[in-house]
Structure 1
Amino acid sequence: MHLFYQPALTPADAAGLLTDEDSRHATRTLRLGVGDTISVTDGRGNRFDCVITRADKQCAFRVVAILSTPPRLFSVRICVAPTKNLDRMEWFVEKAVELGIERISFFIGQHSERRVLKLERIEKIAVAAMKQSLQSWMPRLDEAVPLAQLIPSVSENQRFIAHLPENVPAEPLIRSAEPSGRYAVLIGPEGDFSASELQQATQAGFTMVTLGSNRLRTETAALSACQALNFLNQ
């Protein structure tokens, strides 16, 4: 299956156009032509089975069938501080989207080494991962904001913070979370959370959890949390 992304497409449309980038990929890389079949997703749960009607600089198609995929019975939101090495954060986004995730929220903590994050490349990586894994839902990606601003905005009913202070018992995430929930997990920067950030999070209802006995890099911890919650709901 060749899956493309066209967020402007709606179920009411009988025809449409691929984006310039997808048109080039379809006609030049895949060498698709008039009469070939493709699938297009709007990133909102709809997959359109289509027939190409024009294959030049902009690829046109006719919709022949629509398959709607409902949202999952649970949702995963990972709130993570961008790493100093941006490649590591891009790796996390790619793999998290492939595994399944509804939302990724970036934040700047008091100990963050990276304090600016541009979403344009992150969004491209997420779109590519969605298409590669043949999914019809595009995760929401949030601009980086200070952690103190993010915490009060988290409305998920099961909220966790991955942090294990010395001599304080904490349950593993997979045993603390309950199935079919709306989850949000805070993953700190390379310098970890500050004491005041931990206090703010726990006062806001975040439960401290562990992701195992090994010390994990930020991006590994974020992906581990994502996988644990997906596994819990299989």
Structure 2
Amino acid sequence: MELPVFYAPEIREDAVSYTMNEDTSKYCIQVLRHEKGDTVLLADGRGNKYTTVITDDNRKKCVVQVSGREQMPAPSPALRIAIAFTKNASRIEWFLEKATEIGIQTIIPLVSARTEKEKIKAERLQNILVSAMLQSKQFYLPILEELQSFDKLVATNRDAQRFIAHCLPEQKIALEDVMEAGKDTIILIGPEGDFTSDEIKTALAAGFQPVSLGDTRLRTETAGMVAAVIMNIKS
């Protein structure tokens, strides 16, 4: 039987015990019906896997004793997706959840000329990332960066393979054919109206390679998902 994993962002690496917050305690004790003596795992989101035993099954302040800590291997290479957030919040939330499960390490909300949404609910999105991390039994929480402008983004990340997916008819190579394994990678995914021709020219001039994600026209969050799958396979 697989052990359940709970999020413990404040736990110290040398901790001998830990008290879960009220929400986590309620889920552990009241929903999953764990009790004193049960073994559960904790994840701090920084790669540490803690094996613990419940010593107090209080549904508001569940206390566990730490019996072991293991530093899990860091994901490599670094996979980053910069994506324009959609006006429909549920669609981008779905993308964040699935990208986390697949193993994308960094997600960058991208502000381009046609971006529909330039404000994000960081706390809600962070909770989605945490839930997806735990569900997929991972121990590194993806980084959700602050909103970044298109111009700033194309001028940085020079230490990685850099790709831009767009819908214009210019010649493009399939991402799976051009991405090299073992290298840090970033891809730009545009808004529903796509990147402007000027933005595409700017990215290409900065060294980004134009890529295709398939033969069909994809919604923003679908394009992000396809890119996440290809990047994970190729990495």
TM-score bracket, normalised by the shorter chain, equals over 0.9
For residues 23 and 133 of structure 1, the distance between their equivalents in structure 2, rounded to whole angstroms, comes to: 20
Pairwise CA distance, 1:156: 4.1
From 90, 99, 102, the counterpart of 2:105: 102
- The one-letter amino acid paired with 2:214 is G
Residue 154 (structure 1) aligns with: 157
Residue 72 of structure 2 corresponds to residue 69 of structure 1: yes
Instruction: Specify whether residues 115 and 75 from structure 1 end up closer, same or farther in structure 2 by C-alpha distance, changes over 3 A only.
Output: same
For residues 161 and 221 of structure 1, the distance between their equivalents in structure 2, rounded to whole angstroms, comes to: 11
For residues 159 and 142 of structure 1, the distance between their equivalents in structure 2, rounded to whole angstroms, comes to: 18
Runs of 4+ in 1 over 4 A off after TM superposition: none
Instruction: Specify whether residues 43 and 155 from structure 1 end up closer, same or farther in structure 2 by C-alpha distance, changes over 3 A only.
Output: farther
Residue 211 (structure 1) aligns with: 213
Q: How does 1:81-100 map to 2 (within 5 A)?
A: 81-100=84-103
Q: Secondary structure at the match of 1:150?
A: helix
Residue 127 (structure 2) aligns with: 124
- 1:24-60 C-alpha deviation (Å, 9 max, x unpaired): 1111111212211110011111110100111221111
Residue 13 (structure 1) aligns with: 15
8 Å contact kept, 2:84–2:115: yes
Residue 86 of structure 2 corresponds to residue 80 of structure 1: no
Residue 65 of structure 2 corresponds to residue 58 of structure 1: no
- The 10-residue stretch of structure 1 (142-151 or 113-122) with the greater mean CA deviation from structure 2: 142-151
State the aligned residue count. 232
Pairwise CA distance, 1:148: 1.8
For residues 8 and 52 of structure 2, the distance between their equivalents in structure 1, rounded to whole angstroms, comes to: 12
Residue 145 of structure 2 corresponds to residue 142 of structure 1: yes
| Long gaps (5+) in structure 1 | none
Pairwise CA distance, 1:232: 1.4
- The one-letter amino acid paired with 2:40 is I
8 Å contact kept, 1:164–1:209: no
TM-score normalised by length of structure 2: 0.95
For residues 17 and 152 of structure 1, the distance between their equivalents in structure 2, rounded to whole angstroms, comes to: 44
TM-score normalised by length of structure 1: 0.95
Percent identity reads: 37
- The one-letter amino acid paired with 1:27 is I
- 1:61-112 C-alpha deviation (Å, 9 max, x unpaired): 1111122211123121000000111100000011111111110000111111
- 1:3-35 C-alpha deviation (Å, 9 max, x unpaired): 001111132111112122111111111121221
Residue 37 (structure 1) aligns with: 39
| Long gaps (5+) in structure 2 | none
- The one-letter amino acid paired with 2:96 is V
